[in-house]
Amino acid sequence: MSILCHIAISEGRIKRSSLETLSHARHIAKKNNMEVSAVIIDVKAGNYVPEVKKFGVSKIYTIESPLFEHHINSPLIEALIKVINLEKPKVMTFASTESIKDVLGAVGSRTKAGVIPDVASFDLQNGTIHAQRPIMASKFLADTESNADLVLVSVRSGSYDVQESPGDAEVIKVDFDFDENNIRQKIREIISTSGDKIDLSEAQIVVAAGRGVKDEEGKKLIMELSEVLGAAIGASRSVVETGMFSPSTQIGQTGKVVSPQLYLAVGISGAIQHTSGMVNSRIIVAINKDPEAPIFDIANYGLVGDLYKILPLLIGQIKSAKNK
């Protein structure tokens, strides 16, 4: 019996959240006397084998095909089904990325698995998966379990630490003879914006803008601050709605879940639909002119004041602190 971990690749790198999940899966497998295997599905899946070998897995499946150049759900589903049929795991884990959210239900339906999506933590005891899921915009946690023969679990980023463990995995190259004519969807175009420069979901520092950022001048300040910090840019729904920031940058219930070392919420009130995507950040800084804004309830450091006055000073001081 084994736990099979999907290793997500994005922009030529393994997603940190996959390694977090893999590290935790290894821990659970050990407790339950099980093995851990991994699967990499990518145009160049083989390239990532050495890195995954550092995580104490017994088998690494690779599935390579030019079809994985861009995310498209039907070939990814077929690849996942193929490796599930080969490995027959008790549990399969995933990092909860948009690509996985797209296919998880279909894979679960195909394999008649129990599916527990977007968990904050999980464990395996006597063949039953017990997981904690943030629900209702993370207002509550739902203790969720499944004792199905196969359980699929996707895990929120930042839920576990990355821990290496030596091992020498057997590498299994899986043939993928998927007929392209079976793909009924066609990609017309991929639109990426400048805000996508740093992968937001993996960023160490995030500078996030809210409705308090009213105009181009404010946006420029956000850009400058993110540049001096080497941060990714995030946004609340308000400024995505106005079109000032791309939907790719949205953080929260509808948007992405992030857990950086440092999160700066600038002109964001702190509605639960926003905070559900960022409460697990290590350090939260809030800049808001309203001393009663709920964001201050979760901020380590709160600055009460006008962002248009504070940001230029902050940019200058961080520059000098970094040049020290």
Partner 1 sequence: MKFYACIKQVPDLAGPMRVKDNELIQDSDRLMLNAYDASAVEEALVITEKHGGDVEVVLVGLEKAKETARKALAMGASKGTMITIDDGLNLDSAGYAEILAAFFKGAEFDVIVCGKQSQDTDAGLTGSMLAHKLQIPYASNAVGLDVDEASGMVIVKRQGDIGQEIIELPAPCLVTCSNDMNDPRIPTLKGIMQSKRKPFDAIDVKTLGLESSDLNSFIKTKVTGYRNTPGRKPGIKMEGEPEDIVKQLVDLLDNEAKVL
Task: Give the footprint of ligand FAD on residues 258-297 (CB under 6 A).
Answer: 267-269, 271, 273-274, 277, 287-290, 293
Task: Give the one entry of partner 1, ligand FAD, none that residue 158 binds, where binding means its C-beta sits below a cut-off of 5 to 8 angstroms depending on kind.
Answer: none
Q: Judged by CB under 8 A, how many residues of this single chain contact partner 1?
A: 93
Does residue 307 bind ligand FAD (CB under 6 A)?
yes
Site string for partner 1, 18-47 (x = CB under 8 A): ------------------------------
Whichever of 65 and 275 has its CB closer to partner 1, that residue is 275
Taking a C-beta distance cutoff of 8 angstroms, is the pair 196, 248 a contact? Answer: yes
CA angle 119, 124, 126 (to 5 degrees): 145
Whichever of 104 and 268 has its CB closer to partner 1, that residue is 104
- Give the chain's length: 324
Structure tokens at 199: 């992968």
CB of 99 vs partner 1, minimal distance in Å: 6
- Using DSSP's 3-state secondary structure scheme, residue 137 falls into coil
Whichever of 158 and 212 has its CB closer to ligand FAD, that residue is 212
Q: Pick the binder of partner 1 from 23, 138, 157, 259 (CB under 8 A).
A: 138
Report the C-alpha dihedral over residues 8, 13, 19, 22, rounded to 10 degrees.
40
Task: Give the one entry of partner 1, ligand FAD, none that residue 185 binds, where binding means its C-beta sits below a cut-off of 5 to 8 angstroms depending on kind.
Answer: partner 1
Partnered with residue 234 across adjacent β-strands are 208
Q: Which residue has the tokens 């390239």?
A: 47
Q: Pick the binder of partner 1 from 109, 173, 217, 242 (CB under 8 A).
A: 109
Taking a C-beta distance cutoff of 8 angstroms, is the pair 22, 109 a contact? Answer: no
Structure tokens at 46: 């083989």
